[in-house]
Structure 1
Amino acid sequence: MRWKNRPQGSNWGDFGVDDELGRLNLLTPEKVLQGVAQVQEGRSFCLSLPLDLPGGNALNRFRYPPRRFTSGREGKLNYNFELNRLNPAFTDVVSDDAVLLFTQYSTQWDALSHVGGLFDADGDGVAEPLYYNGWRAGPDVQGPAGCDDALEGVNARRLGIEKMAETAVSGRAVLINLARHCGRERVLVDHARLMAICAADEVVIEPGDMVCLYTGFADVILEMDGKPDAQRLASSCAVLDGRDPALLQWITDSGLSVLIADNYAVEAYPARETEGCCAALPLHEHCLFKLGIHLGELWYLTELAEYLQAKGRSRFLLTAPPLRLPGAVGSPVTPVAMV
C-alpha cells in the first residue's frame, strides 16, 4: 500500500488501490447508451478551438503556440516534394510536416498527473509530493533533475493521459449555460448561484455525466483573432469559485465524471485570498488530486450552447478522447458533440 492516510474528502482507493482513472470509472456502458439516446437529429458539433489560439502567451507565459515545420529530403524540404526527383517515372507530389506544441496551450484535457499536492500519506509527519490515489512524484511521475535536462526524463509513468485515451471518453454530457445568466461579466460562481442557474434552466446532473460549462470565454478569444489582451481576458466571463466549500462538496456529491469549461482554468485563477496554508488552485486540487476528475479547458461550446438553448435541451452525446501519448500530463483534444 502506497499510503496509510488519504486526504480528507478524497476517494483514494475507492476504485482500487492501483486505480489511474478516477471518476472516469463512472463512464460505464450504460452512460454511453444514455448519451446515444440523446442523438435525435444526427447533427455534430466540433468543440475545439483552432489549436493555435488563443495566440501568444498572454494566458500562460510558460505556454506558446504550436510551431509547424518539416524535414529535409534529397536536398529539398519534404513539402511539395516531387517524387520524380527520386524516379522520373513517379508523378506524386507529397508533403509531410511536424509540430512542436504545448499539450495544454489550447483546447485540452488535464491528466490526473497534471496537479498533485503536498500531503503526509505515510503518517511520518512530513508532507510529500503526491498525485491522485497516492502515486508519487519522482518514482511514478518522473521529472527532470534541473533546467539543463528539461527535455529528458519527463514521464508520467502513472496517471499519464494515455490512460484516459484508452477509455475513449464517450457518454452522456450536460451543458450548463453560465453565459446566459451571467453575460460576459467576470463573476465568481459559487454553489448557490450554480444551483440557481441549473434550476432556472431545468438542468439535471446524474452520476457519470460529463459536465460542460459555457461561459463565453472562448468567444472572447476568437474575437481577439490570435492577439489576446491579457487585461481583457482577466476581466471576462464567469468562473467557478474554487474556494467555496459547498461548490466542492457538490462536485463530490453529484458524481460527475469529468468537468469541462470554455475558459482558461474552469475555476478563478488566482483564487480568492484565504488564511492559512492552501492550494493556489483549490478546484484543481479537489478534482485532480482528491477525486480523480479530469478537467477540460478552453473548449469551444458556443454553437452547441446556442443549439441546446433553442431546443430547450441540455444533454448530448460527447466523444472526447485525448491523444494516446504515453506519459503526458495533458493533451490537445478535438471533442465532438452529437445531438
Structure 2
Amino acid sequence: MAGRQSLNSLPLRDALAPQEDGPADSAWFWGPEDQLGRLNLQTPERVRAAAAHVRSGTVIPLNIPFDAPSPPCFGRQKFQHQIIRLDGHAFDEIYELNPQTGSQWDGFRHFGHVASGYFYNKTTAADIQGPQATSRCGVHAWAEHGIVGRGVLLDFARYAELKNIKPSMYENYSISFGTLAEVGKMQGLDLRREEDGGDIKIGDILLVRTGFMKHCRSISEDERAVHHLAKPKFGPEDRQRYIGVGQSEKMLDFLHNSYFSAVAADNPAFEAWPSHEDYYLHEHLLALWGVPIGELWDLEKLAEACATEKRWTFMLTSAPNNVKGGIGSTSNAIAVL
C-alpha cells in the first residue's frame, strides 16, 4: 500500500493535481506501479458492506451468450465453438473469440488518452505491442484481485417507458446527467455522494440499463447487421452509432467525484457513440482515472428483480480472465440480491 492515495483524501475533479508530464484530469495517484486503478477502492471493509446487501439470495448472471449479439458490433469477428472428440467417452472443445464482442470489461490497455498517447498510469502503446512490450496494466492484474462491490442500477429504460420517451438505440442518443438524476429520483436514489447526504458510496459499481439489449433481441439479425456491420471510423463520422451515457462536464464530475470502482451498461460502448464532444468518456474513465468499463451486459432480469424487490443496490461479483497483458475480458459478472 506504500505510496498509494489515502482513501480519506480522495480529491474532487477540480482539485486534481496531475503528475509531472501527466495529462490534465489524470488521477494516477495510487503509485507508479499500480495496475488496479479504482479497483483499489474495493477494500475488505467495502466488500463486507456489499455482502450486507444480499437479502433475498436471488442470483442473477449478467452475461449474454458468447455468440450474441449477432452479428457483433463494430465489425468484430464472430465467436467460434469447435467440439473435439478425444475417444469413445470424452470430448474437449476450442473457443475462438474476441472477448469484446459480448458482455465484457474494457481493460486499461484498450483505449488511451488521445491527445497524450498515454494509457492508464503512463502505460504507452510500446508497452502493449511491439519489441519492447510488457504486460503492464494487463487484465491479469484485475483477475488476481477480483471484482467485488456494491452494485447500483440506474434503469433508464424503465424510466423512458414510464415517461413515454422513445430513444433511438442506433443513434448516439445521449443520456444526460440530469436524466440519470431523474432516474435515480424515480427509484428513490439520491445521486449525490454519501459525504454530501446522497446515496452513492465510494467504491460502488454503477450499472446503467439503456434498453439496448432488449431492443437488440426484438429485431432480426438482418436488421441488426445494418448497424453492427457499418464501417467503424473513429470520430464524429463513425457509422457505428449507439445510445449511451452522454459526454458533459456534469457527467465527468459525477463519474469522477463519485469514485465508482467500475461502471457498466447494456449498450456497446457505455457512453453514447460516437462522442458528442471532442473527448470520449473512455479516455477519462480508462486512461485518466483507472475505472473499468463494462459493456453489453445483460441487465434485463436484474432490472425486473430490482423493481420487484423495490431496491436498486446489490452485491456484484466478477472474475476477469487471467490473461497476462490482456486488453479486456469477458465480464463473468453475477449480481446477488
Q: Does TM, normalized by the shorter one, top 0.5?
A: yes
TM-score under structure 2 length normalisation: 0.81
Note closer, same or farther for the CA distance 1:232–1:98 as it changes in structure 2 (3 Å cut).
closer
Q: Which 4+ residue blocks in structure 1 deviate beyond 4 angstroms? A: 153-156, 225-228, 230-238
Counterpart of 2:50? 35
1:117 aligns with 2:146: no
Counterpart of 1:182? 160
Structure 1 residues 272-311: aligned runs within 5 Å: 272=276, 274=277, 278-279=278-279, 282-311=280-309
Note closer, same or farther for the CA distance 1:226–1:110 as it changes in structure 2 (3 Å cut).
same
Contact in 1 for aligned 2:39/2:291 (Cα 8 Å):
yes
Contact in 2 for aligned 1:113/1:159 (Cα 8 Å):
yes
Note closer, same or farther for the CA distance 1:223–1:154 as it changes in structure 2 (3 Å cut).
farther
Contact in 1 for aligned 2:71/2:224 (Cα 8 Å):
no
- Structure-1 separation of matches of 2:71 and 2:250: 36
1:56 aligns with 2:38: no
Counterpart of 2:266? 262
* Equivalent residue pairs, number: 292
For 1:101, give the aligned amino acid.
Answer: L
- Structure-2 separation of matches of 1:155 and 1:315: 40
Contact in 2 for aligned 1:106/1:332 (Cα 8 Å):
yes
Structure 1 residues 15-164: aligned runs within 5 Å: 15-57=30-72, 59-61=73-75, 63-70=76-83, 78-79=84-85, 81-82=87-88, 93-119=89-115, 127=116, 129-138=117-126, 140-143=127-130, 157-164=135-142
Note closer, same or farther for the CA distance 1:163–1:194 as it changes in structure 2 (3 Å cut).
same
- The unaligned stretches of length 5 or more in structure 1 are 71-77, 83-92, 120-126, 144-152
Once the 2 structures are TM-superposed, how far is the Cα of residue 256 of structure 1 from its aligned partner? 0.8
- Structure-2 separation of matches of 1:328 and 1:154: 16
- Structure-2 separation of matches of 1:295 and 1:287: 7
- Residues 15-44 of structure 1 show CA distances to partners (whole Å, capped at 9, x for unaligned) of 112211111111111221122111112210
TM-score under structure 1 length normalisation: 0.80
Identity %, equivalent residues: 30
- Residues 278-321 of structure 1 show CA distances to partners (whole Å, capped at 9, x for unaligned) of 33xx1101100110000000000111111101211010111112
- Residues 58-87 of structure 1 show CA distances to partners (whole Å, capped at 9, x for unaligned) of x211x11211225xxxxxxx42731xxxxx
Please give the secondary structure, in 2, of the residue aligned with 1:45: strand
Contact in 2 for aligned 1:104/1:332 (Cα 8 Å):
yes
Note closer, same or farther for the CA distance 1:182–1:231 as it changes in structure 2 (3 Å cut).
farther
Contact in 2 for aligned 1:55/1:228 (Cα 8 Å):
no
- The unaligned stretches of length 5 or more in structure 2 are 1-18, 190-198, 229-238
For 1:261, give the aligned amino acid.
Answer: A
Contact in 1 for aligned 2:176/2:245 (Cα 8 Å):
yes
For 1:207, give the aligned amino acid.
Answer: I
For 1:220, give the aligned amino acid.
Answer: H
- Structure-2 separation of matches of 1:44 and 1:178: 22
Once the 2 structures are TM-superposed, how far is the Cα of residue 330 of structure 1 from its aligned partner? 0.7
Note closer, same or farther for the CA distance 1:335–1:198 as it changes in structure 2 (3 Å cut).
same
